[in-house]
Structures are given as structure tokens and as C-alpha cells.
Structure 1
């Protein structure tokens, strides 16, 4: 049985492949990549590399020939995801791939997050395709909150606009292990998994975790969405990214990042990675 992973050189894709290698033989894994030059480390592990560019539909069908299970990791170009995903789904149908797993978004069918619409559209395209599927509805990654931890410790202030909204995030590795488990085992056909962390935190909690790990005083400063937007723009972040960050915080207030689902815990057979432990490891 052949397993193909899109975005195989991306952060999630590489982790999925490493998790899959613990379950299945190297020769059964196909890395689908936009730039084969970035896949040398995978190639050196004996993994087959195939060119797979969402914007070059002629590459897609050929790359999917002989694939039994496809993991479609959602594309990263917000606003262009639906047509890109449609090209992959159409190619999978043409190539007679029987099954696709798709990394969607927590509660995609009802989430108020701006990012949710393209996930809803993709899920609908997959349902309409006739392919067997599994929807892996991933919540936010812990890593989304870790990039500026050291800077936050130095300045003493964590800024956001999430008030005391609860966040049930998990590590990228947790989601990767879940995807590998679903691909390499049976009984997941036509199921939807709501994947979220075993525990939750607020941004006030996050500030306290950074303070504890760094030995410095760190406090959370809640901003209005408008002031948060201005602060991020003034810090030099691109407008599109700022919109995603602020929208995520605003919807956190309304519960979009919180879930009591234990689907992720059950799939990986353990509690998810605690963000506090990841923060400790940064110092």
C-alpha cells in the first residue's frame, strides 16, 4: 500500500513522514513536493520524491498514480486554498486514489474564524468527490504562541486581544502523530475528528508560563482588536498575517479555540504536549 503526503517538506509534512516511518516501510511512502531540491533529506532516507505543484495541475495526476492513501495537508496561501485543493481532489479522482485524509480546522463547519471558510469549501469538495475520507480538524498549534517567547520575556509584556478566552492548542508533533495513525491504521473512513489539546490555557496563563521559565516578570496586556492590529502592523508584520492573528484572538474570546474533544488524545494514545513544557525547553 502506497501512502502519499502533500507539503512533505513543510513543518507538519516532515513530522508526519517521520511518524509514519515508525509504522510502515520506507518504500511505501511518497513525498509530494513543490520543490524537489528541498527534499534531499527525505530522499536520503529512501523515500520516493514526486513533483507536486498545486499551481501546475499537469503534475498532479501523474504524481498520484498508484497511491492508495493521500494526506492532503492544507495549503498555506490563504485566499487561494480552495482552488488549489480542488485541483488536488480532482487529480485524486482521475488517478483513482481511493482515500484522502485532509487537515482541516477545529469545528470547521461552524467555526467563526476567517480561516474556516476555505476549509468548509474543501471538505464539501471532498464529500462531493466520492472519495473515502477522514477530516483531521486541527486546532491551533502550540508553536503559534512560541515564536516570540524570548522577546516577550525581555520586554515583560505579552500583547494580545483574546481577553481570558480559553485555548486548547496542541503541538505540531501531536497533530502529525494523529495523521500518521489515521493513515496507517483501519477504521477511520468517512470520519471527522475534532483535534485539540488535552488541557487549555489563556494568554494570562501563557504570560505566567513565560515568567516562570525565564525568571522574569511577564504580564499579559489585553488590547482592543484595533490597537492590536496597529501594534502588529507597526512591528512590521504583513497585513494578511496580522488579520489572521487578530481574528484568532477575537474568536478566542468567543470560544473558537476551546474544545473538550479527546479525539487527539485517543488517536495518539497519550496526553497532548503541554505548552508549558515547550516554553521551559526554550530557556
Structure 2
């Protein structure tokens, strides 16, 4: 039995669909959900529905019973994530799960000096807990989702004529979230081939924002440039524009990480698991800005 956490989210739902396309029977797949009302689509596909929450250890133990392989999609509540993840790992061991596939993050710097330090801490501690649990594991070091690039670009750059981010000349190697999930399904379908391995889930090429500006100029026929302010200048500009501080913080952290080369990791791991090259960034941008 394969159990998918976060099953009503984009990553989890895509992983389930990919498993079904690979010939895994729906009765061999379970979906962990927090809200039964959101599980109708999965139920209609014949997937087993399990009710549980990362904050409820006992609910997880009950939901995990009879599961051999667990897709553990990391939680999104940063302030409580480490405790929630501890519940998942403890419950997995208690329920007799044999193999955990965990969606972690891409990094070069694992110290507190990383701009992603706040986000990184719970991921790194979760990886440590999984490895120390004695369970078999596969760690997925996911780069930025390509789907998030328009968020970083904003909705005004075609009007202003420039992309404005404090990413300096740093590069990033994003891929589509759906392709991460599809590759993850390949691991879930044959976990014995991926025991105690870590994969760099990235694209095969890395890009900086000057290259992204060039791509968009070619796609739209408009001249788009890239301006790289300091982090302080960027923050003040967005504050003056009324952007919420939470969004400013997220964009600044990831831009600074990119400036420092944190996300400049190009790998063929994703390509190998997909059996094809991932969608290129330019091809994705064409679907958005053509």
C-alpha cells in the first residue's frame, strides 16, 4: 500500500494521478486528507481515503496502518512544521511503514547564514529524524517550482519594462511542480530501487533573471530588462507599493538565496526519473506570456 499525504494539494493529487497512469491499482493507493469534503475526486477514482492531520499523532498512526510506502509531503505551517514532521516520522515508525519518500528542498548552504535558514531548519531536522528512524528513505531535494516564477516577476513588469529582484547574477534551476510529482510517482511505484538515496530535483539548466528577461522579450516582442536592487532597496520599494510583508519576505529570501548560488544546481536526476527532459523555462514562459 502506498499512502500520499497532502493528497488534495497539487503535488499529492498529481502524484496519485501519475501512479494510476503507471498502472498502480487505485485500491493500492491511500490518500491522507484533513477535510473529507475535499476528497470526493479521489474517492471517485477508487483511492482509499484516510483522515488525519500532521498535528494529530494518533490520527496519523491510525491512518498509516497497513501502509508500506509513504509519500511525506512537507507541511506549510512554518512555525509548527518541525513538531508536525516529528509526529509524521514517529507515527510512520509506530505503524510499521517501511519506506518514506520526503519532499525536502534544494540547498548548498546548510548553516544559519543561508537566506533560507528559517525555512531550511525544519527540513534539515526532518531529514535527520527520518535517517535516524531506521526506516528506508528517499530524500527529494526540490528546487523552486517553475510555477512560482510569475509570482517573483510580478504583474507590472511588462508595463514598467523591467524585472526587479535582488537576485544579482545568481542562477536558479526550476522545474514544473507536476513534473516533480510525476518523478516522485516513479519512485513510489518501485521504492526498492531508491533505498536511502537523495535526488536533486532540478532542471538540467540554470538561469539568471537577465536570461529570463531575454526570454520574455523574445516571447512578447517587448523590451524587458533586469534590475537588481539591494535587499533593502527592494523591501522599501515594495513596502511603498503596498505589498504585504509576508510576500516581500518570501521574495527577498529566495532572491538572496539565488544571489548566493543556493539554487544553482543543475542535475539530470529529474530527467532520469521522468524518462525525458523536463519542460524548459522558456517553454513554460511561452505558455504564460505568449
| Bucket of the pairwise TM-score, normalised by the shorter protein | over 0.9
Q: Is the 8 A contact 1:108 1:120 kept in 2?
A: no
How much does 1:226 deviate? Answer: 0.9
Match for 2:183 among 155, 175, 178? Answer: 178
Q: Is the 8 A contact 1:51 1:59 kept in 2?
A: yes
Distance across 1 between alignment mates of 2:68 and 2:142: 23
How much does 1:248 deviate? Answer: 1.3
Distance across 1 between alignment mates of 2:227 and 2:42: 43
Q: Is the 8 A contact 1:168 1:199 kept in 2?
A: yes
Distance across 1 between alignment mates of 2:258 and 2:180: 20
Q: Please, which runs of 5 or more residues in structure 2 have no aligned partner?
A: none
Deviations 1:224-256 (A, max 9, x none): 101222333444444344223211111211110
| 258 and 80 in structure 1: CA distance in 2 versus 1, 3 angstrom threshold | same
Q: Is the 8 A contact 1:153 1:210 kept in 2?
A: no
* TM-score, normalised via structure 2 length: 0.91
Aligned residues: 282
Secondary structure, aligned partner of 2:70 = strand
Distance across 1 between alignment mates of 2:218 and 2:3: 42
How much does 1:28 deviate? Answer: 1.0
Deviations 1:205-226 (A, max 9, x none): 1122222222222221211101
Match for 1:217 among 223, 236, 251? Answer: 223
Aligned to 1:157: 162
Aligned to 1:110: 110
Distance across 1 between alignment mates of 2:82 and 2:69: 21
Match for 2:208 among 199, 202, 211? Answer: 202
* TM-score, normalised via structure 1 length: 0.93
Runs of 4 or more, structure 1, over 6 Å off, are none
Secondary structure, aligned partner of 1:80 = helix
How much does 1:108 deviate? Answer: 6.8
Distance across 2 between alignment mates of 1:160 and 1:196: 21
Q: Is the 8 A contact 2:173 2:203 kept in 1?
A: yes
Q: Is the 8 A contact 2:30 2:49 kept in 1?
A: yes
Match for 1:119 among 120, 123, 127? Answer: 123
Correspondences of 1:29-178 after superposition (within 5 Å):
29-107=29-107, 110=110, 112=114, 113-114=116-117, 115-147=119-151, 148=153, 151-178=156-183
Q: Is the 8 A contact 2:109 2:262 kept in 1?
A: no
More helix by share: 2
Secondary structure, aligned partner of 2:128 = helix
Q: Is the 8 A contact 2:206 2:266 kept in 1?
A: no
Aligned to 1:10: 9
Distance across 2 between alignment mates of 1:268 and 1:176: 10
Q: Is the 8 A contact 2:3 2:69 kept in 1?
A: yes
